[in-house]
């Protein structure tokens, strides 16, 4: 009887506690209502364009028919994934995607760090601002415009690069018609476009370093290189780690438009990646279920890489996303 009575008494107490907690939460929301209103568009964006579309991933396990819809389309289990792994060109496309992303990570990720360190050494403010403006500008150009610029520069007949090559007595090259150059062109154009823009975060991190650290190091006899190695880079490490982890999560998601504008039948063998293949197979050939399976494969690989890299970073440097 005693236990029964205690249980009965605890119920109203729990209800009161829940109501009080709810009131505290509502008061907190009302107190910071301006911040919640500011965050609302971002939250709505992710819900509408990121989370709700995840429901459409179910068609990867169907033989989806656009006229029947998701409800009436035939279920085929993992047949689409088996088709993907058995596709004769799957390994070639995977290799292209991995290599292009690796080159971009190796050169494209480090370029903004190097440029930010160089800009940080410029003492004349006017010159520094002018250089920053120049290197930021390509970021605002579309990939269509950038491809036109590079196609013109690399033209075998009128391109600037081939004119220089001919001045040294060599034959001109059709760079965009050669499989051996397409990966370098794709990665190089991305570096030219986004390196300046990528320095913004690093320059902001550099601005937060205490100048007294450099003064103390200078008193101790450290030169600029030693100061950079012992003060600047350790201060940048948390920022570098976070940006690296964010990029590694999109390792197989290189970007459709960045590659498609440079592709042609002569360089497709080394230039085609998953994003361009999904466009051809999904939109042009109406293989919606199959290309959804390819997209899920990309996402799963990205998730595994992100979790693994985050775990290693947390163990080795102490910096992580979560």
- Asked whether the predicted pLDDT for residue 30 surpasses 80, the reply is yes
Q: Could you tell me if 127 and 68 lie in one domain?
A: no
Whether residue 243 is found in the same domain as residue 128: yes
Say if 205 falls within a structural domain: yes
Mean predicted confidence (pLDDT) in 43-51: 92
Q: How confident is the model at residue 9 (pLDDT cuts 50, 70, 90)?
A: low
Number of domains in the chain: 2
> Domain of 249?
79-139+195-316
What value does the mean pLDDT of the chain take?
Answer: 89
Cα–Cα distance measured from residue 23 to residue 17, given in angstroms and rounded to the nearest whole number: 10
Q: What is the pLDDT of residue 3?
A: 47
The rounded percent of the chain whose pLDDT value lies above 90 is 56
| Residue at a domain's end among 58, 77, 96 | 77
Q: Is residue 1's pLDDT more than 70?
A: no
DSSP 223-267: -HHHHIIIIIHHHHHHHHHHHHHHHHTTTT---HHHHHTT--TTT
> Is residue 192 very low, low, confident or very high in pLDDT (cuts 50, 70, 90)?
very high
In this structure, the answer to whether residues 57 and 39 fall within a common structural domain is: yes
Q: Check residue 14 and give its pLDDT.
A: 75
Among 77, 97, 123, residue at a domain's last position: 77
pLDDT score of 255: 85
Q: Cα(first)–Cα(last) distance of the chain, in Å?
A: 49
Q: Are 105 and 24 part of one and the same domain?
A: no
Rounded mean pLDDT, 238-254: 89
Mean pLDDT of all residues in 268-296? 92
Q: Considering the domain boundaries, does residue 169 fall inside one?
A: no
Examine residue 181 and state whether it is found in any structural domain, yes or no: no
Residue 169 has pLDDT above 90, yes or no: no
Per-residue pLDDT at 106: 93
What confidence category does residue 8 fall into, taking pLDDT thresholds of 50, 70 and 90?
Answer: low
**What would the pLDDT profile of 293-318 be if each residue is shown by its tens digit?**
999 999 999 899 999 999 988 888 88
- Tell me, yes or no, whether 221 and 282 share the same domain: yes
Other beta carbons within 10 angstroms of residue 269's beta carbon come to 12
pLDDT digits (tens, 9 = 90+) for 65-108: 888 888 889 999 999 999 999 999 999 999 999 999 999 999 99
For residues 200 and 220, membership in a common domain is answered with yes
| Confidence at residue 194, expressed as pLDDT on a 0 to 100 scale | 93
Euclidean distance between CA atoms 232 and 185, whole angstroms: 32
CA–CA dist 104, 62 (Å, integer)? 35
**In the chain, % of residues over pLDDT 70:** 97
């Amino acid at each position: 009887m005693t236990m029964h009575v205690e249980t009965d008494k605890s119920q109203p107490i729990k209800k009161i506690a829940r109501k009080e907690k709810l009131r505290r939460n509502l008061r907190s929301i009302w107190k910071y209502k301006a911040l919640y209103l500011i965050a609302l568009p971002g939250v709505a964006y992710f819900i509408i364009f990121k989370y709700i579309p995840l429901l459409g991933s179910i068609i990867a396990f169907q033989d989806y028919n656009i006229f029947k819809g998701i409800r009436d389309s035939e279920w085929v289990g993992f047949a689409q994934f088996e088709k993907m792994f058995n596709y004769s060109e799957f390994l070639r496309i995977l290799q292209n995607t991995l290599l292009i992303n690796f080159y971009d990570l190796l050169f494209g990720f480090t370029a903004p760090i190097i440029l930010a360190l160089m800009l940080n050494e410029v003492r004349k403010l006017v010159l520094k601002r002018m250089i920053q403006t120049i290197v930021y500008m390509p970021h605002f150009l579309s990939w269509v415009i950038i491809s036109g610029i590079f196609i013109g520069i690399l033209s075998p007949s009128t391109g600037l690069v081939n004119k220089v090559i001919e001045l040294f007595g060599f034959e001109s090259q059709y760079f965009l018609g050669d499989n051996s150059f397409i990966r370098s062109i794709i990665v190089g154009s991305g570096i030219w476009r986004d390196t300046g823009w990528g320095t913004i975060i690093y320059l902001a991190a550099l601005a937060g370093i205490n100048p007294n650290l450099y003064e103390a190091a200078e008193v101790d006899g450290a030169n600029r290189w030693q100061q950079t190695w012992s003060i600047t880079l350790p201060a940048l490490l948390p920022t570098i780690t976070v940006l690296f982890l964010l990029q590694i999560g999109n390792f197989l998601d290189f970007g459709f438009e960045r590659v498609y504008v440079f592709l042609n039948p002569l360089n497709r063998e080394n230039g085609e990646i998953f994003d361009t293949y999904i466009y051809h197979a999904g939109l042009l050939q109406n293989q919606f279920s199959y290309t959804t399976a390819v997209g899920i494969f990309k996402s799963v690989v990205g998730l595994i890489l992100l979790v693994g890299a985050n775990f290693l970073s947390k163990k080795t440097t102490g910096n992580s996303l979560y």
